[in-house]
Amino acid sequence: MSLDTILSRIDDDIDASTERLFELLRIPSISTDPAYKADCQTAADWLVSDLAALGVEAEARPTPGHPMVIGHAGEGGPHVLFYGHYDVQPVDPLELWHREPFDPEVQDGPAGKVIRARGACDDKGQLMTFLEACRAWKAVTGEWPCRITFVFEGEEESGSPSLVPFLEAHKDELSQPDIALICDTGLFDRQTPAITTMLRGLLGEEIIVTGPDKDLHSGLYGGAAANPIRVLSKILAALHDGQGRVTVPGFYDGVTELPANIQAQWDALGFDAEGFLGGVDLSVPAGETGRSVLEMIWSRPTCEFNGIVGGYAGDGFKTVLPSQARAKVSFRLVGEQDPFAIRESFRGMVKSMVPADCTVEFLNHGNSPATVMSTADPAFEKARLALSDEWPNDAAFIGSGGSIPIVGYFKEILGMDSMLIGFGLDDDLVHSPNEKYDFRSFHKGIRSWARVLDALTR
C-alpha cells in the first residue's frame, strides 16, 4: 500500500464522507439540555454503528450522564487513543441563525466552501476527520494502521461531569495506549497547521479585604477609617512591577526559556501581533517588557484580575465607606511553576500589605499546573512533518494560553501525553450562531490524519 493511494481514496470518497458527517450533524445532541438526552444517546449509537461498520468492537457505555463511546481496533505498531466529543453547544439565540442549526449544508463562503451546522467544527466535523482517515486506510489496505482506542465523550460541552470517574473506573483498559490524539483545536492560520504542545496552567484566588465592621458614612469616618477598596487597590497595583513582571516572590521559579527549535518555529509563524490586539481595539502589549505577544499569551506566566467589587457601584453616588472589597485574581502558569508554592507566596505577600486593623480572607478557586508535552518523543516531530506535507506552510509546535482539561485528565489518570491536532479556524463561530467548518479543513483534515497515522507507524 502507499500513502498516495489512501489520499486518493480520501479525495474520491469526499462526498460520501461529507454525507456521513451530515448524518451525525442532523442529530441535535445538546448535552447540557435534558430535553436532548435521547438525541445524545442517538449520536452515541450512530458512532457505535459507524465504528462497527469499520469492524471496530465498539459500545456506548452508560454513565450517570450521556454515554461514553469506547472502541478498540487494530493490532501491532504504536497504540494511540483518539479522543473527540459528539455533544454540541445549545443553539440559542435561534433567531440569529440563518439556517436551521441541525440541517447541515455546504455553502459558498468568501474563503471557499463551508459546512454550516451546529457542531460542524466543534467537534463532530473534527472528530469525523479521524474516522474518515481510518475508513480510507481500511478500504485501501484492509487493515488498521496500528492499535487504536476510540474515546468519544458526550458531555464535553457541559463540564464533563462523568469523565474523570469513567477514566478512573476504566484505567486498566484506557491507559494502554502510548499517546492520545485529540482533535478539538485549530490550525495556526489557513495556511499553517499546528500541534499544541504547551498549555498554561491556572491558579484562581479571591481576596476579600474587610475594614470597618459595617459600611460607614464617608463624611463622618472618611480620612480616619481604613477603606478596603484603597487597601485592595494597593495590593493589586503591587502585583506587577514597572516592566510588567509579576512581583509575587518566587513566581518565576520553574519558568524556563523557550527551546531554540520552538522559538524558531514561532518566529517563522509571522504572527500578526498588531492584528491580534487590533481585533479587540488594543495596540499596546500589556505583558513583560521585551517579550513578544506570542510569548505573552503562550509561554509566559501572567497575573490577571478577573473581577473586583466593593462599596456602592450602582447608578449615581453614595458616600459610603465600605466594609469590604473583593477581587478575583488568576495566574496563568507555565513550565514547572508550582501552583501550591505560588498560592502560598501570593497569600503571604497580600497579608503583608493589609493594615493591622483590616483582615483578609482568601477563597481558593482551583489550580492546575501547566502542561508541556515532551516533544522529544519522536511521535511529535513525525506528526509535525506529516502535517507540513499536507499544508502550504510547515506545521509548528505552538502554545495555548488557556487550559484544555482533558489533557490534564489523560496525564493524571492515564499517565499519557496528548498530541493536540485540529483544523478549526478563529472564524468558525464555535459556540455561536451559524457555526461552520471550512470544507477545506474537513477534506485536508482527513488527509492530514492519514499522513500522521502513516508517519506514526513508520
Strand ordering across the sheet containing 324-333 = 324-333, 201-210, 359-368
147, 167, 179, 130: which is closest to 374 by C-alpha? 179
Binding string, residues 78-117; x marks residues near its own copies by CB under 8 A: ----------------------------------------
Among 170, 230, 347, 411, binds its own copies (CB under 8 A): 230
> Binder to its own copies among 171, 282, 289, 458 (CB under 8 A)?
282
Among the candidate windows 55-63, 79-87, 98-106, 315-323, which touches its own copies by CB under 8 A?
315-323
Question: What residues numbered 380-419 form the site for its own copies, per CB under 8 A?
Answer: 400-403
| CA 210 to centroid of chain Cα atoms | 36
Q: Looking at beta carbons only, is 228 or 445 nearer to its own copies?
A: 228
Question: By CB under 8 A, which span of 7-15, 16-24, 115-123, 321-329 interacts with its own copies?
Answer: 321-329
Least separation in angstroms between residue 147's CB and its own copies is 34
**Cβ at position 269, least distance to its own copies in Å:** 15
The DSSP 8-state label assigned to residue 395 in this structure reads P
Q: Which of residues 164-183 bind its own copies (CB under 8 A)?
A: none
* Residue 304 Cβ vs its own copies, minimum distance, rounded to whole Å: 5
**C-alpha grid cell for residue 102?**
441541525
Measured from the Cβ of residue 381, the count of other Cβ atoms closer than 10 Å reads 15
Task: Quote the CA–CA distance of 450 and 130 in Å, as a whole number.
Answer: 8
Nearest distance, CB of residue 257 and its own copies, angstroms: 16
Q: Which is nearer to its own copies, 112 or 355 (CB)?
A: 355
The binder of its own copies chosen from 113, 365, 411, 440 (CB under 8 A) = 365
Provide DSSP, 121-184.
Answer: TTTHHHHHHHHHHHHHHHHHHSS-SSEEEEEEES-GGGT-TTHHHHHHHTHHHHT-SSEEEE--
Is 208 one of the binding residues for its own copies (CB under 8 A)?
A: no
How many chain residues touch its own copies (CB under 8 A)?
Answer: 80
DSSP letter string, 65-76: SS-EEEEEE--S
Q: Which residues contact 279 (CB under 8 A, 6 or more apart)?
A: none
**The one among 15, 356, 374, 392 contacting its own copies by CB under 8 A:** 356
Report the nearest approach of its own copies to the CB of residue 341 (Å): 20
Residues 6+ positions from 48 with CB-CB distance below 8 Å:
58, 59, 60, 69, 71
The answer to whether 345 touches 251, Cβ cutoff 8 Å, is yes
| x/- track of binding to its own copies for residues 285-314 (CB under 8 A) | xxx-----x--xx--xxx-xxxxxxxxxxx
